[in-house]
Amino acid sequence: MAAPRKLILTVVAASLFTLVLVGATAALMLAGEPDASGVGRSAAERIVVLIVLLLLASACCCWVIVRLHDLYAASPLRMAEEVTAALAHSSLRVGDQGAAELRVLAQAVNQLLALREASENDVAERVREARASLEEERSRLAALMADLSQSVVVCNLDGRVLLYNQRARQELAAGADGGHGELLGLGRSIYTVFDRALITHALERLQQASRELGETENRQLLGSAQFVTATPAGRLLRAHMSPVLGGAGPHHAQVGGLSITGFVLVLEDVTSSNERHARRDALIQSLIEGGRGPLGSIRAAAEMLSEVADMPAQQRDRFLRVVHDEAAKLSAQFETAASAFSNDLRERWLLEEMRGAEVLIVAARRIGERRADERRALAVKTENVDEDLWLRVDGYGLFQALRYLAWRLQDEYAVREVRLSLTRSGQLAQLDLSWLGTFMNNETAMSWLQDPMSVAGDSSPLSVTDIVERCNGDIWFQRERVSHRAFFRTMLPIADAPTDLPRAVIAAAEGERPEFYDFDLFSWSAASHELDDRLLSELAFTVFDTETTGLQPTQGDEIIQIGATRIVNRRLLRHECFDQLVNPQCRLSPQSIEVHGITRELLVGQPTIDVVLPKFHAFCADTVLVGHNAAFDMRFLQLKEKQTGVRFEQPVLDTLLLSAVLHSNQTTHRLEAIAERLGVSVFGRHTALGDAIVTGEVFLKMLPLLAEMGIRTLRQAREASQKTFHARLRY
Amino acid sequence: MNKKILIADDEQNIVISIEFLLRREGFEVLVAGDGEEALAKVRGERPDLVLLDVMMPKMNGFDVCQALRADPDLAGTRILMLTAKGRDTEVSKGLGLGADGYMTKPFSTKELLAEVRKLLGM
């Protein structure tokens, strides 16, 4: 409505203006016309007036046009600019100015922008939520994996390790000599641990199996392949291999539209169970086969005795002696087998190793639980607890038995407080449940121990004695008249403290992924040999340092410590480190001891360099070496090539040289100085591992700075290093 | 003429019974305590049947059996293997090496006698 009225008003105003102008001109002309009296203005005068009038009119027009231009041409252009800016920053709004029409348009545009911002926020929020839940799932997965009693390793198709759990690390870490050599690590090749052919074969079996499934079922999850192999330490592992399927993978691994992008290995140590099975088989075998001979003799002799009536006494005695001898032989065989078997028999119950002190704490808690039908809980105290004792018990059953006895004491003898103690008694552990005051006679106590347990609605077909015997122990009732104390005493065999206690999960720092897995590695390619043109940011590095007896490798100085850590996908993996002292088999100079603090005593019993270097070589397989002043360390390694038979042919980067590339005007490129320059905090210097970690941090800080200089690939980094002055240093 | 039987077994307690049993049945019985002795006695005495235990010192029953079957002069000697193991694989190994029969301890003396008679064609 407003627009047509405005149009009409404008047309009317323009017409009126023209009319007034024409009218004024005409009136001027008429008024100035010289009349009869001769009064009038000359033509020149009139023209002047006319011109003035026209000038006035055009000025008026100009003013109107400028105003209109501002309203209808400049304002939309300004608005267009504002809209363009708002395209990039969704929080901006268009200004509320210009003509009324434009203001309407601006409001509409602003509404649109507001909608867009809201939806952008919404998307961002969803992304955040999705990421949070993903992160949560990852942590859950990490926790789950850490908790598994089996070892889990996930690899991509090239055999690169993408994920593993603590258990796998423990199981695969021990070397053949029981030494500590890390073989497992993110991005490392699983083939340093397992035979390549074994895994390739298992993968082929998986593909074969899925092909045979046919097209109709090809979307089903493939089964798993199994193989048994031995670790370097000689343990037997059974591996279950399941494929990881994905959309995009190499053509040769295609399976019914999906392709195998990697595999999961679940490893189980079967050394002991295999041994146990073998032992049991041998036992049964020896019983059966060992029994046949004596039985054959007895049977033949018995048949002779029973069937031949007219046997001379002497002959009869011979047969009787045969029966006697062979029966004795059989008995002895049975005894041997029985005692051998009883060890295995124990394994049938789920006996678990528990720390004695923990058994007592849990038992006390169970006994002290408030019962529904009792006003007050029974008080429990623990005393004389031997903290070092380990027991091998059926924990659940034992707690049940102790609680049954304690509660029955409360019910039937109004006992208010019981005590639990655990002490060592020779080769056995002595667990006492004792109380003061009233006590029963021996017969009652005996029946308590031998009747099925039933107290407060909680009943079991087993008796206390059953449970204790199951733990290979014995229990009895005893009293001390002098102290008015009575107790149920349980003797239990002492177990060895288990060696593979579950370790605590190492929580990742805020905003940092746990270092044990890195799914981004799935995108790694097989072409790791052409490292030169790979981006530095995607290479795996082993950052290392050595401590030595001195600075002259050619004059008999030796390595006494090697420390290394790894960088994968631009993350320093502190958990995957190599830290090994080396027995140099030569004298340590006092000056060098001052530097590294490693004394003669520390090196006693440490492996020598020909044991350590092959392990270190395996640790840095398939990675680029990084060291500070690496030439120095490399010289030591190279001098050992003949002796140890391992060659370090990996590409090497030197943070000292890279520092010179980055800051050519600085006078010093010592590690501390560089660290300070790049804002890396230094601690634990002059241990090989400490220095390696600092070097790693420094190297990580250098990567973006190098990238700014256009140094992105390994080749570029090496070429730049060579150009610097320090590259000409030779040891 | 009485048939001649060689018992080759190092287990004295079973030999006593078998020897007694076979003598009562009218056979002529020889005894060998190990594999080498068994082989020598077969060559020297030419028994009609050898009761051959598998587990023997010096030379086991399988080796004795193989040696006997390698000698064409002894083709007529029947071999009945006695064993205290009784695994299927062993039975087939014994028969494969040329034994004529196989008995697993403990066996009944009646069965043994029946098997001996069968092998001797009585």
Tell me, what's the pLDDT at A699? 93
* Alpha-carbon distance A538 to nearest alpha carbon in chain B (angstroms): 60
Q: What is the CATH number of the domain that holds A702?
A: 3.30.420.10
Give the H/E segment covering residue A145.
helix A100-147
Q: Which residues of B touch A287 (CB under 8 A)?
A: none
pLDDT of B72-88, one tens digit each?
A: 888 889 999 988 876 67
Q: How far apart are CA A533 and CA A717, in angstroms?
A: 10
**Calpha distance A105→A77 (Å, rounded):** 13
CB pairs under 8 A between A and B: 63
Q: Catalytic residue among A240, A575, A663, A686, which? A: A686
SS (H, E, C) A165-230: CHHHHHHHHECCCCCECCCCCCCCEHHHCCCHHHHHHHHHHHHHHHHHCCCCCCCCCCCCEEEEEE
Q: Are residues A120 and A152 in the same domain?
A: no
Mean pLDDT of B58-74: 87
Confidence of residue B1 (pLDDT cuts 50, 70, 90): low
pTM of the model: 0.40
Residues A387, A244, single domain; the answer is: no
The last residue of a domain, from among A311, A346, A381: A346
User: Which residues 6+ apart lie within 8 Å of A717 measured at CB?
Assistant: A536, A653, A658, A706, A711
The token pair at A567 is 């960088």
Kindly state whether residues A471 and A373 are assigned to the same domain. Answer: yes
Residue of A nearest to B10 (CA): A293
Taking an 8 Å Cβ-Cβ cutoff, which residues of chain B contact chain A?
11, 13-14, 16-18, 20-21, 24, 83-86, 104-110
- Alpha-carbon gap: A279 to the closest alpha carbon of chain B (Å): 18
Nearest alpha-carbon partner for A429 in A398, A390, A402, A400: A390
Q: Is residue B99 within 8 Å of B60, Cβ to Cβ? A: no
A293, A307, A318 member nearest B16 (Cβ): A318
Q: Are the CB atoms for B108 and A301 separated by under 8 Å?
A: no
Of A307, A315, A325, the CB nearest to B13: A325
Check CB contact under 8 Å for B21 and A295: no
Within 13 A of A637's CA, how many CA atoms are on the CB side? Answer: 25
CB contact under 8 A, B17 and A315: no
Give the pLDDT of residue A608: 87
Q: How far apart (Å, rounded) are the C-alpha atoms in residues A385 and A363?
A: 13
Of residues A310, A390, A380, the one with CA closest to residue A358: A390
DSSP-derived 3-state class of residue A352? strand
Question: How many CB atoms neighbour CB A202 within 10 A?
Answer: 21
Left, alpha or beta for A515 (phi > 0: left; psi -120 to 50: alpha)? alpha
- Known catalytic residue: A686? yes
Farthest CA pair distance, chain B: 37
Enumerate the residues of chain A whose CB falls inside 8 A of the CB of residue B108.
299, 303
Chain B contact set for A295 (CB, 8 A): 105-106
A289/B21 touch (CB, cutoff 8 Å), yes or no:
no
Query: With an 8 Å Cβ cutoff, are A297 and B18 in contact?
Result: no
User: Where are the alpha helices (H) located in A369-522, listed in sequence order?
Assistant: 395-413, 442-450, 464-470
Sequence letter at residue A158: D
Q: Do B109 and A307 touch (CB under 8 A)?
A: yes
How many Å apart are CA A680 and CA A684, to the nearest integer?
13
Is A558 in the same domain as A690? yes
Q: How far is A158 from chain B (nearest CA, A)?
A: 45
Residue A327 touches partner B, C-beta closer than 8 Å: no
Strand ranges for A64-145 from DSSP E:
none
CB of A316 within 8 Å of any CB in chain B? no
Task: Give chain A positions within 8 Å (CB) of B110.
Answer: 303
Residue A301 and residue B17: Cβ atoms within 8 Å? yes
Choose from A285, A295, A298, A303 for mutation: most chain B CBs within 10 A: A303
Same domain (yes/no): A205, A336: no
Closest CA to A532 of A648, A628, A650, A634: A650
Please tell me the total count of domains within chain B. Answer: 1
Residue A66: what pLDDT? 92
What is the structure's pLDDT at A125? 93
- In Å, how far is A301's CA from the nearest CA of chain B? 5
Nearest CA in chain A to B112: A300
Q: Is A319 on the interface with B (CB under 8 A)?
A: yes
Same domain, A723 and A684: yes
Task: Report yes or no: A330 at the B interface, CB cutoff 8 Å.
Answer: no
Name every chain A residue with its beta carbon within 8 A of the beta carbon of B17.
297, 300-301, 303-304, 319, 322
Q: What's the confidence (pLDDT) of residue A175?
A: 52
Nearest by CB to A299, from B16, B86, B106: name it.
Answer: B106
Q: Are residues A263 and A279 in the same domain?
A: no
Pairwise CB contact (< 8 Å): A300 & B109 = yes
Within 8 A of A286 by CB-CB distance, chain B residues are none
Q: Is A23 left (phi over 0), alpha (psi -120 to 50) or beta?
A: alpha
The verdict on residue A521 lying in a domain is: no
Q: Are residues A179 and A282 part of one domain?
A: no
Q: What is the CATH number of the domain that holds B103?
A: 3.40.50.2300
Strands A652-654 and A624-627: parallel
Closest chain B residue to A296 measured between Cα atoms?
B106
CB-CB under 8 Å, B14 with A293: yes
Residue indicated by tokens 């190092």:
B10
Query: Measured at the alpha carbon of residue A635, what is the angle toward residues A180 and A661, in degrees to the nearest 5?
Result: 105
CA-to-CA separations, A269 to A39, A652, B28, in angstroms, rounded: 133, 38, 61
Nearest Cα of chain A lies from the Cα of B53 at a distance, in angstroms, of: 10
- Closest residue in B to A329 (Cα) is B13
Q: Which of B7, B11, B12, B14 best tests the A interface by mutation, with the highest count of A CBs <10 A?
A: B14
* Last-in-domain residue among A316, A346, A376: A346
**Three-class secondary structure of residue A249 per DSSP:** coil
Q: Within 13 Å of residue A701, how many CA atoms lie on the same side as its CB?
A: 17
Number of domains chain A contains: 5
**A680 and A626 in a common domain:** yes
A63, A54 Cβ separation under 8 angstroms: no
Whether residue A514 is contained in a domain is answered as no
Report the residue of A281, A286, A288, A297 to disrupt the B interface, i.e. the one with the largest count of B CBs within 10 Å: A297
Element (H, E) at A285: helix A271-307
Instruction: State which residues form the domain around A544.
Output: 527-728
Is residue A596 within 8 A of residue A550, CB to CB? The reply is no
Alpha carbons B6 and B21: distance in angstroms, whole number:
13
Does some domain include residue A132? no
Q: Which of B84, B86, B109 sits opposite A303 (nearest CB)?
A: B109
Best mutation site among B19, B91, B105 for testing chain A: the one with the most A CBs within 10 Å? B105
**Count of CB atoms situated within 10 Å of the CB of B121:** 8
Q: Do B16 and A292 count as a contact with CB atoms less than 8 A apart?
A: no
Which residues constitute the domain of residue B41? 4-119
Q: Do A459 and A356 reside in the same domain of the chain?
A: yes
User: Among A289, A300, A315, whose Cβ lies nearest the Cβ of B14?
Assistant: A300
Task: Examine the domain organization and report whether A90 and A163 are in the same domain.
Answer: no
| Ranges of residues in chain A whose predicted pLDDT is under 50 | 1, 176-180, 214-221, 500-529, 726-731
Residue A442: predicted pLDDT: 81
| Rg, Å, chain B Cα set | 13
Q: How far does CA A15 lie from the centroid of its chain?
A: 85
Same domain, A551 and A666: yes
- Other beta carbons less than 10 A from residue A60's beta carbon: 12
Question: Domain boundary residue among A269, A295, A320?
Answer: A269
